[in-house]
């Protein structure tokens, strides 16, 4: 069922573009220079459909060559931003239009409604005057071409901000934090998505900015690669280039496993990367042992409702009440069970801060995720000030962010 929904969504994208093209082609019939408008529109549509299917084929097979970054960018921004944005807006306008039409229909059928006297226009006047676009035609043409305006704005913003990210600093206080751990600095890195949109010089920038924080720990919460195992060597390079006084630890995310779970996990571990798969590490930080547990992603054939309880049964014996315990989990929903299992701090990513938001923390993704961006506090059964921090991530699988800037998080533990 999941695969059916995935393919239905995938093939709905070019279908929507074709429907938009047919509709716009008809609307432009009365536009000045309509031949050039229609030709440009047809070329734009053809380019996007061909590039879309090439992108799909290269992502799902070993087909080469890979599309250049700018062309991938245009496909993603058009199909996943411009068209959905205008479709949503258009649906709202259509609903208002239907409401207006129904209201007028009711008024017309009212006995008190009088029929307007028809005004006749001399035939010679209608034929001899040059045809100008009516307000209704101009409005329809503007709506039809609106996706191109939204697309252009998205492309400009994407191009400017593609390799940019911030360093976000936050203090997290805990009553039960051992005094020796007060001031411990954690660099939280997530969702690098090493691949088409995050590679080359930006990877060096991520490593440099992270190391410049002089952290006690660097903790990575999944989606290290975007999709292809061809990017695994670069991912290993990044992980091995991180420098922290008490070590670098990671858990896996869903994107890491798209091509081959075993190959990713074995590749990382054989290179010496400390990838924790329902496992515990106890680094000594400022003279005190800390418990770091990495949660595995997914169970083949089961949804997250089955996955989380199963993984927590596996790790329950790794959690010691006498230690300060940190959980690395790609999906922030792990916080709910983590806080009741004795976890003090859950670090997560996955949401990208909602990716396209009205404000930081509020937008369409608010309906999809319980925990989206930043710090969350809920008392657990054994930890009264348990916390979760969800980072927006530093990389990109989708080349546009609004209200969810990419980041490296600098977390300082404080004794409350």
Query: Is 120 inside any structural domain?
Result: no
Among candidate residues 126, 159, 192, the one where a domain is terminated = 159
| pLDDT score at 101 | 86
Query: Is 129 inside any structural domain?
Result: no
Query: Is 338 inside any structural domain?
Result: yes
Question: Are residues 102 and 172 located together in one domain of the fold?
Answer: no
Question: Are residues 177 and 85 located together in one domain of the fold?
Answer: no
HSE-CB for 244 with a 13 A CA cutoff: 27
Contact of 387 with 176, CB cutoff 8 Å:
no
Question: Are residues 91 and 204 located together in one domain of the fold?
Answer: no
Full residue range of the structural domain in which residue 180 is found: 166-415
Question: Are residues 96 and 52 located together in one domain of the fold?
Answer: yes
| pLDDT score at 128 | 46
CATH number of the domain that residue 191 is part of: 3.60.21.10
Query: Is 130 inside any structural domain?
Result: no
For residue 385, give both structure tokens: 């000030």
Query: Is 406 inside any structural domain?
Result: yes
Q: DSSP per residue over 35-63, as a string?
A: HHHHHHHHHHHHHHHHHHHHHHHHHHSS-
- The per-residue pLDDT string of the chain (416 residues; one tens digit each, 9 = 90 and over) reads 556 776 787 788 888 889 889 988 888 887 788 888 899 999 999 988 888 888 777 765 555 667 788 888 998 899 888 888 877 777 777 788 788 888 888 887 766 555 555 555 555 444 444 456 677 777 778 878 888 998 999 999 999 988 999 999 999 999 999 999 999 999 999 999 999 999 999 999 999 999 999 999 999 999 999 999 999 999 999 999 999 999 999 999 999 999 999 999 999 999 999 999 999 999 999 999 999 999 999 876 555 556 788 999 999 999 999 999 999 999 999 999 999 999 999 999 999 999 999 888 889 899 999 999 999 998 766 677 899 999 999 999 999 999 999 999 999 999 99
Question: Are residues 229 and 335 located together in one domain of the fold?
Answer: yes
Question: Are residues 147 and 221 located together in one domain of the fold?
Answer: no
Question: Are residues 226 and 242 located together in one domain of the fold?
Answer: yes
Among candidate residues 159, 194, 218, the one where a domain is terminated = 159
Query: Is 119 inside any structural domain?
Result: no
Name residue, tokens 């390079």: 237
| pLDDT score at 143 | 76
Q: In 3D, which of 364, 366, 363, 353 has the Cα closest to residue 401?
A: 353
Query: Is 123 inside any structural domain?
Result: no
Q: Is the pTM of this model over 0.85?
A: no
Radius of gyration of the chain (CA): 27
Question: Are residues 229 and 356 located together in one domain of the fold?
Answer: yes
Instruction: Give the torsion through C-alpha atoms of 201, 205, 207, 211, to 10 deg.
Output: 150
Among candidate residues 100, 126, 159, the one where a domain is terminated = 159
Does residue 354 sit in helix, strand or coil? helix
Contact of 279 with 247, CB cutoff 8 Å:
no
| pLDDT score at 8 | 81
Number of domains comprising the chain: 2
Q: In 3D, which of 336, 334, 330, 367 has the Cα closest to residue 352?
A: 330
* pLDDT tens for each residue of 304-348: 556 788 999 999 999 999 999 999 999 999 999 999 999 999 999
Question: Are residues 149 and 232 located together in one domain of the fold?
Answer: no
Question: Are residues 249 and 322 located together in one domain of the fold?
Answer: yes
Question: Are residues 223 and 349 located together in one domain of the fold?
Answer: yes
Spell 79-107 as b/e; 16+ CB within 10 A means b: bbbbbbbbeeebeeeeeeeeeeeeeeeee
Question: Are residues 239 and 365 located together in one domain of the fold?
Answer: yes
Query: Is 147 inside any structural domain?
Result: yes
């Amino acid at each position: 069922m999941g695969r059916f929904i995935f393919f239905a969504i995938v093939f709905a994208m070019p279908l929507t573009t074709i429907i938009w093209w047919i509709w716009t082609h008809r609307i432009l019939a009365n536009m000045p220079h309509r031949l050039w408008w229609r030709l440009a529109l047809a070329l734009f549509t053809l380019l996007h459909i061909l590039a879309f299917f090439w992108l799909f084929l290269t992502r799902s097979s070993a087909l080469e060559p890979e599309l250049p970054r700018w062309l991938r960018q245009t496909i993603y921004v058009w199909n996943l931003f411009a068209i959905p944005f205008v479709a949503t807006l258009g649906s709202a306008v259509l609903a208002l239009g239907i409401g207006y039409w129904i209201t007028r229909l009711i008024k017309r059928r009212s006995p008190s409604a009088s029929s307007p006297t028809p005004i006749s226009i001399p035939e010679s006047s209608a034929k001899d005057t040059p045809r100008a676009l009516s307000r209704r035609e101009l409005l329809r043409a503007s709506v039809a071409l609106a996706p191109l305006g939204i697309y252009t704005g998205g492309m400009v913003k994407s191009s400017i901000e593609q390799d940019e990210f911030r360093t976000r600093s936050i203090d997290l206080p805990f009553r039960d934090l051992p005094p020796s751990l007060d001031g411990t600095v954690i660099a939280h890195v997530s969702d690098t998505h090493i691949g088409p949109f995050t590679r080359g010089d930006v990877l060096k920038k991520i490593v440099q900015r992270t190391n410049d924080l002089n952290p006690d720990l660097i903790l990575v919460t999944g989606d290290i690669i975007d999709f292809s195992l061809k990017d695994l060597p670069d991912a290993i390079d990044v992980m091995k280039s991180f420098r922290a006084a008490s070590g670098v630890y990671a858990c896996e995310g869903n994107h890491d496993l798209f091509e081959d779970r075993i190959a990713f996990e074995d590749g990382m571990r054989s290179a010496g990367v400390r990838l924790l798969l329902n496992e515990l590490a106890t680094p000594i930080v400022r003279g005190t042992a800390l418990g770091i547990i990495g949660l595995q992603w997914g169970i083949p054939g089961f949804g997250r409702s089955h996955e989380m309880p199963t993984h927590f049964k596996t790790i329950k014996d790794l959690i010691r009440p006498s230690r300060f315990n940190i959980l690395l989990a790609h999906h922030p929903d792990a916080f709910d069970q983590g806080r009741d299992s004795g976890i003090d701090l859950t670090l997560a990513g996955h949401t990208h801060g909602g990716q396209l938001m009205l404000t930081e923390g509020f937008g369409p993704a608010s309906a999809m995720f319980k925990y989206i961006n930043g710090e969350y506090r809920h008392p657990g059964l054994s930890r009264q000030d348990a916390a979760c921090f969800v980072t927006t991530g530093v990389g990109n699988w989708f080349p546009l962010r609004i209200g969810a800037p990419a980041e490296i998080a600098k977390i300082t533990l404080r004794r409350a």
